[in-house]
Amino acid sequence: MMGEFDTRLLPATARPDDPAVTQAAKLLRQGELVAIPTETVYGLAANALDPDAVAKIFKAKGRPQDNPLIVHISSLEELPPLVTEIPDRARKLAEAFWPGPLTMVLPRSSRVPDVVTAGLETVAIRMPSHSVARAVIQVSGLPIAAPSANLSGKPSPTSARHCMEDLTGKIPLVLDGGPCQVGVESTVVTLTGDIPRLLRPGAVTAEQLREVLGLIEVDPAVLEKAEDGPVASPGMKYMHYSPKASVVMITGPWSACKDFLARQQDEGVWALVFDEDLGDCPLPAIGLGPRNDAAKQAQHLFSALRELDEQQARLVYARAPFEEGMGLAVYNRLIRAAGFSVIDLMG
């Protein structure tokens, strides 16, 4: 079906004079959308200071209006105009983890439009480490609002091909910067309360945050369904990251999981298991990554969920990753893909 745009896919480098980068920057200054690579997932970028441009993000994605966006910058000098204060804790985190996959929620300035923050008095900001993302921000001269460059609710895109699958006809340009190194969205921590609070886990782990800040809290919505009402971070409130298939997470030792899966054999029923279990799985299966390598699991998760769609799976049983270190980020994404449907096989 033809859309509003003849969407172009251009390979991009970090050179400021790269034609793909200059074209992306031009489109952003004109109030259009561009899908750009970051180290976490591909982002759907708009001028964060232009409410009309940001509104196009929600339209292209089908994203709920009460789901706040993250603003991306390329240098610390770009932070002060967007916030009313920069606490010492933010400076410490920036020194430790920026540029990189960490988002900080801070008090917003009046320059940030309501549509970016879902009307909240806070704004989520990060400085990506991906060289193409930083080049686009620098050349455009704009802070960039950018959620994941996918249709709302679907698995996040970790390649330019994923963006084209979801957004062809909806945006003018996708920049191809290769596969995403991290594979899940950034860690989000709010610094607006007395105690820093982890709102969404990612590659910067709770343990790493504690090394810098000391005490941090983990929001209950990391592992449980968020209560109704406003949320300070994307990824907290809605069912996310889901393939077309129904997903059910299973917990327990492999022996119990294998026995359970053997009883579920039916057309269109698949499993998402650790790589070590693939040869021993009684169902057709896709590997999540090595059992004890959460970083690899994060890299593979969203592409695995999209591959299950390509295999026309209708029901997927997914093994639960370990809830520590970066495994917490993988668990967080999977439990949302499953709509919080979990079967405990611990015995």
pTM above 0.75, yes or no: yes
Cα 324 from chain centroid? 19
What CA–CA distance (Å, rounded) separates 106 from 114? 14
What is the pLDDT at residue 63?
Answer: 85
pLDDT at 1: 43
CB 180 within 8 A of CB 202: no
Whether 237 and 219 have beta carbons less than 8 Å apart is answered as no
Q: What is the DSSP string of 245-285?
A: SEEEEEES-HHHHHHHHHTT--TTEEEEE-GGGGGG-SS-E
Decide: helix, strand or coil at residue 137. Answer: helix
43 Cβ contact list (under 8 Å, min separation 6): 35, 36, 37, 72, 133, 144, 146, 147, 148, 149
The confidence score (pLDDT) of residue 242 equals 84
CATH class of domain segment(s) 8-222? alpha beta
pLDDT at residue number 225: 79
User: Is the bond preceding residue 99 a cis peptide, omega within 30 degrees?
Assistant: yes
Report the alpha-carbon distance of residue 28 to residue 341 in Å, rounded.
40
What span, in angstroms and rounded, lies between the C-alpha atoms of 9 and 35? 9
Instruction: Render each residue's pLDDT in the chain as its tens digit; 347 residues.
Output: 456 899 999 999 999 999 999 999 999 999 999 999 999 999 999 999 999 999 999 999 998 888 899 999 999 999 999 999 999 999 999 999 999 999 999 999 999 999 999 999 999 999 999 999 999 999 999 999 999 999 998 999 999 999 999 999 999 999 999 999 999 999 999 999 999 999 999 999 999 999 999 999 999 989 887 765 566 666 555 567 789 999 999 999 999 999 999 999 999 999 999 999 999 999 999 999 999 999 999 999 999 999 999 999 999 999 999 999 999 999 999 999 999 999 999 86
pLDDT at site 2: 52
pLDDT number for residue 238: 54
CATH 3.40.50.11030 boundaries in the chain: 246-344
Q: What order do you get walking across the sheet with 43-47 strand by strand?
A: 8-11, 173-176, 34-36, 43-47, 144-145, 70-72, 122-126, 102-107, 187-190, 197-200, 217-218
CATH topology of domain 246-344: Rossmann fold (3.40.50)
Residue ranges, comma separated, of all CATH 3.90.870.10 domains in the chain are 8-222
